[in-house]
Structures are given as C-alpha cells and as structure tokens.
Chains A and B, each alone.
Chain A
Amino acid sequence: MTVVASFRHYLKNHSKKWLALKALSYLLLILCALVVLIPSLWAVATSFKFETDVLDANVTLFPHRVTWENYQHILNNRNVPILLWFWNSLKIAVTHVVLYLLFTSLAAFAFSRLRFRGRETLFWISMSSMMIPSVINMIPNYIIIDGLGLVDNMFAMVLPGLGGVFGVFMLRQFMRGVPMAYDEAAKIDGASEFRIYFDIVLPMCVPVLVTLAIFSFQGSWNDYVWPLIVTNSAETRTLTAGLATFSGSYAHQYGKQMAGAVLSALPILLIFILGQKYFIKGISLGGLKE
C-alpha cells in the first residue's frame, strides 16, 4: 500500500499541468521508441516464416507456422559465409582498435609531455590534414596497399585508418590536463619515459581511450567501400562489405534475407548489450571534448 500512498503524495505535490506534461512526454517517447523498434521486430518475425507465408496477402507480424529453414539455409550456403565474415570483421576491428589506441596514445604522449625538436611543426602538419576529406586518398591508398601485396589480406583493412589524427588530437588535449608533477616524481624514482607513459599517464586516459575505441571500432565495423576495394575473394571480406550483394542473390526470398540480416546483427547486438554502459558513457564523452 505504500506504493499507492507515495503515488498519491506524488500527485498531490505537482500541478495538473505538470503531470499532464509528464504523461504526454512518456506517451510520446514510448510511441517513438515503438516506431524505431517495429522494423527490427518485422525482420525477426519474418526470418521464422515460410517463404510462401511471407508473400501471403494477409501478412501478419507473428508467423502462423514457425520454421528454422531460413537460418539453416543461410548457414549452409557457402556463397554467403556470414559467420566467416563476422569473424573477419571482428578480427579486423579489434586489431585496428588496439593498434590505433597504441599508436595515437604514444604520439599524443610525446606531443604533450616530451620536448624535442620539431614537435610543434610535426603536430600541426598532422593536425591540418584533418581538413582533407578521405575520398582524396582513396585511390592512392589502394595503389599503396596493392604495392605492399596486401590485397585480400586483413591488414589492408587495418592499416590505412591508423594514420588518423583525430585520436592524437583528443588524447593530447586530455594528457595536457594531467599534471607534469607526476612525471617529475617518477623520473626522480628512475622511471623511463615509457614507464611514465604506460604506468602513469595511460591509466589516467582510460575514459578517452574507451571513447576512441568505440569510435574506431564502429568506423572499422561499418566501413563499406574500402573493404570492397581491397578484397577480391568472398572469404576475406568483412560482414559489411560481404552482405552488399546479399539481397540480389535472394531476390524476393525475404524469409532468407531477414534470417541473414538477423544473423549479421546478433553478434554486434550481444557486444552492445554487454558493453552498453561503456558505450553510452564513452560516446557521450566524445561529444563533450573540445
């Protein structure tokens, strides 16, 4: 009964107008969320339908008869190795993120805390390249990757993004806020520059590192055109690139198309749910950095 009592108390303490506004907000938000959710619901429901039922004129969201056939078909089709593509995407994205964080944080550490000749010049040369759209580098990058013999190799999709300067910029900004007194104390204790970087400064940068990890992971995961350019065989493609011709090979077989869509979304959904806390926090931080 305490719930009812506290609810009564809640009602009494606020004006009618305030309550109406609150109710309206909730209603609108739930409505919007449903609109966003419905397409995915249809995809899941359709993936369990028989193809004849999908094309039925009296289509309903929930299937009359449930079947695993679409999933079995997709998973057994060697021309669309969705699981292999997923593995490729994950391997490439994780390798890219780890190297990206390592390279950019090392550079940011030197740019913000070490003194050396040409520091400012090198920093501003790399920063000014942020204004250059990536499309200009697309074709030469292919020539370079081909020249290195990396076509159809996962490193063709890992390496080019590592020259991105955004991470260096963000990390340098953050590291400048960490007092130099830490470094000096560690130096007196005989710590090397690398130890100061790894044991003192890097742990303090974890929030920014998480943000950068999310951004670079998503960038790598969702990259559509670059993997298409640097891969010739289906086995080396990423999920995003591999699925590009998927609809065409299952024209009007929507049960199978949706099974493919669900399969391609499941793993990343799992990662998202497990790391939702860090995801949302990390992304929020990204927008606040100046």
Chain B
Amino acid sequence: MPKKEPAAAIRPHGPKLRSVVPYLFIAPFMIMFIVFGLVPLVMSIVISFTKWDYSSPMEWNGLENYKLIFGLIGSGSVASDFWNGVLHTLLFVVIETPLLIILPMFVAVLISKCVAIRKLSMGFFYFPSILSITTVCILWNFLLDTNAGVINHYLQTEIPWITQMPYAWISIFLLSTWWGVGSNMILYVAGIANVPPDIWEAAELDGAGEVRKFFSITLPCMRRTIFYTLIMTTIGSFNMLGQSQVLTAGGPNYGTTTAMMVIYNTAFGGTNNFGRACAMAIVFGLLMSLFTFLSFKLQVSDEEDM
C-alpha cells in the first residue's frame, strides 16, 4: 500500500503536472492494450454475427455463423469440420499435458539426485525447447521417414509414421514431448531445490524412503509450481498448430487437423470467411477458458483442503 505523500511544497512538480504524470507512465502500455487487446475483442464479437469476406461489405446475419457451427442449419459439414478439429485439440491436450507434467518431473528428480552433472544435463534437456517448432518438425520429418528414417532403421520396421493412423498422432506426441520436456523440467528442478533442507533431514531421521519422500515432501512443496506449469502447458496445448500443419499437414484424412488449424484455414486459407472464423474462435476460446477456469477451481478447492 502506498504511504502518505510528503507535503506538496517539497515535490518537484506543481500539482497540475503531478496529476498527469501517472497517466504518462501507463499510456504506452494502455494504448497497446486497448488497440491490440480490447478493440479486437469487441471487433471479434461483432464480426462473428456477420457474413464478411474482408473485400466486400460486411453483411449482418445474426446467429447464422453460430447455428452453422452447432450444425443447426446447412449440410452440417462446417460443424463436423470444426468439432473434428476441437476433438483433436482436446485429444492432444488430454494426452500431451500429463506427459509434459510427469516426464519433466521424473527428469527433474533424477537431476536433483545427480549433483555432479546437474548443470550439464539441464542444458541437454532444455536444448530442444530453444528450437522453433518448424525446425523441430523438419528434424522429425526425417527421423520418422518410412524408408530413410532413423526410427524405422533402429526398430527394423517399415511403419509409415506420418501418413497412417494411429502413427501420425504417436509421432506428434513424440515430437511435442521431445520439444517440451525441458522448459517444465527447469521449473521443477528449481522447485525441488527450494524445498527447505530441514524437512528432508526430518524425513530421513524418520526413515522415509525415496518414494515416500517424493510423494509426502517434494510434491506438496511444489504445488504452486506444478499448478503454474499445468495452466501454461494446457494453454499451450490448446493452441497447437505447427505440429499438425508442418509435420502431418493435418492428415491423414484430416485425422490430425486441430481447432486452431480449422480457424486459420477458415479465415486465411483461400476464402476469407472472417465472420465464421470469428464465431469459431469465440466458441473455441470459451471452451478453452472453461478448461482453465476448472483448473483454477480445482487448485483453489485443493488448497482449502489443507
């Protein structure tokens, strides 16, 4: 809380200037926030009630876009494409998020045990995360190639990793996990290092084993870190697009097309169907917020239990 201000006489600015200064401080951020945060939000809502291809004039069409999305009118192909994408995104979120929480935790525990090579191994595991998603996709596109690929070579198989189900999804999970383990791992290593040492000593005196110590000390002490990574990883997974677009091109047979890809293609893939794309973005965005909100709730009720 700000303390009492000193007497005006010793302030360098007169009273008039003083009242403007704080607004000057927040102005750059506020302008950006309004132009690229608030205005777009209102625009998105308005556009979602129109039929608009960006070049011809906007036409008001009420709830038509939403009805199309929910399959209430039309042939239902819009709805099936959209929900197909949403379903794939949810599949990705539900499988990838736990992978990117559990595996980094496992690695972080190992790293904390191996003090001698701690820094070096952190660098190794973090390295894939600094690569851009397209570089990662180019690399794995080679590794997963049916004939020339290293993975089939090692496994002595001829699996079409990218062009057949369920392998296309397995490939995406493999790539995303390789890419993402590092960043959560660093947070967990820091979290483990911050557990007060006297707790460990007390547990050791009580004769607690490694597994017991992990579940009774490490996990509870790191709840905030875990919650933070859970939210961030979930949001990141919801926005998944690069893997599907660069590695599998949404295939085979639209099997890996995500919601982001459907929205992107509706707005920028040839026919600029901005009205419909905005409605899709809003429906998908609300779904995402619901997910995030539920995680918050879960965390809060969890904390109340303590």
Which residues of A come within 8 Å of B, CB atoms? 21-22, 25-26, 28-30, 32-33, 36-37, 39-40, 42-43, 46, 54-55, 59, 102-104, 106-107, 109-111, 113-116, 119, 122, 126, 129, 131-144, 159-163, 165, 168, 180, 184, 187-188, 190-193, 197, 218, 221-222, 224-225, 228-229, 239-244, 246-247, 252, 254, 257-258, 260-261, 264-265, 268-269, 272, 276, 279-280, 283-288, 290
Residues of B within 8 A of A279 (CB): 126
CA distance A178 to B33 in the complex (A): 26
B292 contacts which of A119, A131, A258, A265 (Cβ < 8 Å)? A131
Instruction: Give B148 Cβ to nearest chain A Cβ, in Å.
Output: 5
**Known contacts A46-B142, A247-B138; is A284 also within 8 Å of B186 by CB?**
yes
Smallest CB separation, A108 vs chain B (Å): 9
A–B Cβ pairs within 8 angstroms, 30 of them: A25-B110, A26-B117, A29-B107, A29-B111, A33-B124, A33-B125, A36-B124, A39-B139, A39-B150, A42-B142, A104-B29, A114-B21, A114-B22, A133-B235, A133-B238, A135-B263, A135-B281, A135-B285, A136-B40, A138-B267, A143-B274, A162-B28, A187-B6, A188-B10, A224-B241, A244-B245, A257-B142, A286-B187, A287-B187, A287-B190
Residues from chain A with a CB closer than 8 A to the CB of B225 are 287-288
Q: Say whether B47 contacts A222, CB under 8 Å.
A: no
Q: How far is the CB of A286 from chain B (nearest CB, A)?
A: 7
Chain A residues with CB under 8 Å of B126's CB are 272, 279-280
CB within 8 Å for A163 and B110 given contacts A106-B25, A114-B22, A258-B139: no
Taking CB atoms, residues of chain A closer than 8 Å to B47 are 139-140
Judge whether B278 is part of the interface by a CB distance below 8 angstroms. yes
Whole-angstrom distance between the alpha carbons of A268 and B134 in the complex?
14
Question: Which residue among A103, A109, A180 has the maximum number of chain B CB atoms within 10 Å of its CB?
Answer: A103
User: With A25-B114, A110-B25, A284-B190 given, is the CB distance from A243 to B135 under 8 Å?
Assistant: yes
Taken together as a complex, chains A and B put the C-alpha atoms of A147 and B41 apart, in Å, by 16
Assuming A42-B150, A135-B285, is B181 touching A36 (CB within 8 A)? yes
CB <8 Å contact, A114 and B25: yes
Residues of A within 8 A of B13 (CB): 192
- A254 x B289 contact (CB < 8 A): no
Q: In the assembly, what is the distance between CA of A85 and CA of B3, in Å?
A: 50
**Nearest B-chain residue to A290, judged by Cβ:** B224
Smallest Cβ distance from B290 to chain A, in angstroms?
Answer: 11
Q: Is the CB of B210 within 8 A of A21?
A: yes
Complex CA–CA separation, A90 to B236 (angstroms): 23
Which residues of chain B come closer than 8 Å to A244, judged between CB atoms?
Answer: 134, 242, 245-246
A106 and B29 form a contact (CB under 8 A): yes
Tell me whether A240 and B134 are in contact in the complex, defined as CB-CB below 8 angstroms, given that A192-B13, A284-B189 are known contacts: yes
Query: Closest Cβ of chain B: how far from A168's Cβ, in Å?
Result: 6
Bound Cα distance from A247 to B248, whole angstroms:
11
Check A29 against B121 for contact (C-beta < 8 Å): yes
Interface hits, B1-58 → A, CB 8 Å: 2-3, 5-6, 10-13, 19, 21-23, 25-26, 28-30, 32-41, 43-44, 47, 54
A265 CA to B156 CA, complexed, in Å: 30
Inter-chain contact A225/B134, CB cutoff 8 Å: no
Known: A22-B113, A36-B124, A261-B138. 19 other contacts (CB 8 A): A39-B150, A54-B148, A109-B25, A114-B22, A131-B289, A133-B239, A135-B260, A139-B47, A162-B29, A163-B34, A163-B37, A191-B12, A193-B25, A239-B134, A240-B132, A264-B131, A268-B132, A269-B127, A285-B190
Across the interface, do B33 and A163 meet the contact criterion of CB distance under 8 Å? yes
Select which of A137, A260, A286 is within 8 A of B37 by beta carbon: A137
What residue in chain A is nearest B278 (Cβ atoms)?
A139
Among A119, A187, A257, A260, point to the contact of B11 (Cβ < 8 A): A187
Q: Which residues of A contact B285 (CB under 8 A)?
A: 132-133, 135-136
Shortest distance in angstroms between A287's beta carbon and chain B's nearest beta carbon? 4
Chain A residues whose CB sits within 8 angstroms of the CB of B274 once the complex forms = 139, 143
Complex contacts, A40 vs chain B, CB 8 Å: 127-128, 139
B26 to chain A, nearest CB (A): 5
Q: Please provide the 6 A-B residue pairs with the shortest distance between their CB atoms, ordered closest to farther.
A: A284-B190, A140-B40, A110-B25, A287-B187, A140-B43, A107-B29
Contact status A140-B44, CB under 8 Å: yes
A112's nearest neighbour on chain B, judged by CB, is B2
> In the complex, are the beta carbons of A159 and B36 less than 8 A apart?
yes
In the bound complex, do residue B40 and residue A280 qualify as a contact, i.e. CB atoms below 8 Å apart?
no
Q: How far is the CA of A222 from the CA of B210 in the complex (A)?
A: 38
With both chains docked as a complex, state the minimum distance between the C-beta of A94 and any C-beta of chain B, in angstroms. Answer: 16
Which residue of chain A has the shortest Cβ distance to B137 in the bound complex? A247
Contact B29 A222 (CB under 8 A): no
User: Roughly how many angstroms separate A159 CA and B60 CA in the complex, as a whole number?
Assistant: 30
| Residues of B with C-beta under 8 A to A224 | 132-134, 241-242
Residues of chain B within 8 A of A139, CB atoms compared? 44, 47, 267, 274, 277-278, 281
A residues near B167, Cβ cutoff 8 Å: none
Report chain B residues within 8 Å CB of A258: 138-139, 142
Residues of A within 8 A of B241 (CB): 224-225
